[in-house]
Structure formats: structure tokens, C-alpha cells
Structure 1
Amino acid sequence: MMDFEKVNGLIPFYENLLTERQREIIKFYYYEDLSLAEIAENLDISRNAVYDTIRKTAQILDRYEEQLHLKRDYETRETAYNRLLDHVDDEGRKILQELINREEEI
């Protein structure tokens, strides 16, 4: 399976592109730290079905990032905003902070 932290970082950017079932399983595994057996029991499916869904969904998330770059671009903008904060006056900081807050809402 893909790196845990990598997948965990991609979920917020692409979760709405997943099916409801994929989203449910991936959140149980990555956010709630449930085992494959616990997820299987909760959803009344096989442990193997849970494993396959997690593996395939992680690949899907990785493919989305390779094509859309939402996470990478967000991190690039965030770095630029933070660098700018050191070089602007109070009014500029206020405007940059509004931009940062708006990014986080999306």
C-alpha cells in the first residue's frame, strides 16, 4: 500500500471525487485508525474487500494528484503566502491572511 502519510494528505483534496463507499472505508482506515477486521465487521463485508478498496482508493488518490496537482499547488501557494507575510506591511498581512483563510475554507 501507499505511504500512510501521503494518502492521509491527499484525502481532503480528493475525497469528493470518490464513491461514498470508498470515502467511508478510507476514512475509517486513515482517520479513525480502525483495523481491516474492524472495518469489515462494521460494514459487513470481507476483510479482503476492505483491503482491496483501501489499496485501489489509495492508487486513485495518487493518480488524481499526478493529474490535478491540487495538494502540490496548495502547498506551493501556502509557502508563497508565508514568505510574503514577512515582507509586507500590516494591510498586506491582513489581505494575505484573508487569502490564506479562503484557501483553507475550500
Structure 2
Amino acid sequence: MTVHETDALAKTTRINMLFDFYEHLLTEKQQTFLKYYFHDDYSLGEIAAEFDISRQAVYEHVKRAEAVLESCESKLKLLVKHEEAERWLSRLEEMAERLADHSGIGAELREIAQGLRNDGKSGT
């Protein structure tokens, strides 16, 4: 995989994650175009043909939507907080594995970590 492909994949992953957090702050058209472009992997030309508008208009909608997502993240930091919580949960699970043989403490810690993961997913 080239550096350009890696960067493109990282950008797509980031936009999809931001979309999960801030989707409802976008216009319906922005939501639709981002879904087509980043989730369904349509080209700008394919989206333009689907909606009978210019490729440039699609590009502008996508760029504006990306800017809204990044602006929301810079203010609210939901993605950053999510990633930090994931790191802490992973550490908790690692510690639970190390304590697995100590009177059920490891199992209880794993259960707590799983409960936190499940609770976080139900809120998104």
C-alpha cells in the first residue's frame, strides 16, 4: 500500500468515525453525499450523475460537510474522548487478563470493561 493510499484510508476512516458522532449536525444533502462518497465508495462523478448535478457541486458539498465535521470535533472532541476511553478499556482488559487467576478479580474486571464498552455503544 502506498503512502497516498494509506493517507486516503486514514482520512476515510476518520470521516466515517466523525460522521458517526456528528451526522445529525449535517444537512440531509451533506449526509447523503458523505454516505455515498466515504461509506459506499462512489466517485464524485457517480454521485453527480445520480443527483443530476455537477461534479463540482458534489465536491463542494462533500468538502463543506467535512469542514463541519472537523469543526464539530475541534469543539466537542467526541472522537478524541472515544479513542481515549477505548485505550483505557484496553488497559483494563489487559490487567484483567493478568489477574485472571486471582480469586475472580480478573473475570470481574473483564465484565466491567465489557459493560463499559456495551454502554458506550448503546449511546451512539
User: TM (normalized to structure 2)?
Assistant: 0.78
Look up the equivalent residue of 1:30 and give its one-letter code: F
Where do 5+ consecutive residues of structure 2 fail to align?
1-7, 97-105
Where does residue 93 of structure 1 map in the other structure? 110
Instruction: Write the distance in 1 (CA, Å) between the matches of 2:24 and 2:64.
Output: 16
Deviations 1:11-68 (A, max 9, x none): 1111121111100001100011111111011112221110000111111111110000
Match of 2:102 in 1: none
Matched, 1:77 2:85: yes
Larger RCO: 1 or 2 (CA < 8 Å, sep 6+): 1
Q: Which residue of 2 aligns with 1:10?
A: 18
Larger-Rg structure: 2
Find out whether 1:61 has 2:69 as its counterpart.
Answer: yes
**TM-score with structure 1 setting the length:** 0.90
- The amino acid across from 2:43 in the alignment is S
- Letter of the structure 1 residue corresponding to residue 76 of structure 2: L
Task: Work out the number of aligned pairs and report it.
Answer: 105
Does the residue aligned with 1:86 lie in a helix, a strand or coil? helix
Give the CA deviation at 1:92.
Answer: 1.8
2:36 aligned with 1:19: no
Q: Which moved more, 1:31-40 or 1:3-12?
A: 3-12
Deviation at 1:69, TM superposition (A): 0.3
- Identity in percent: 37
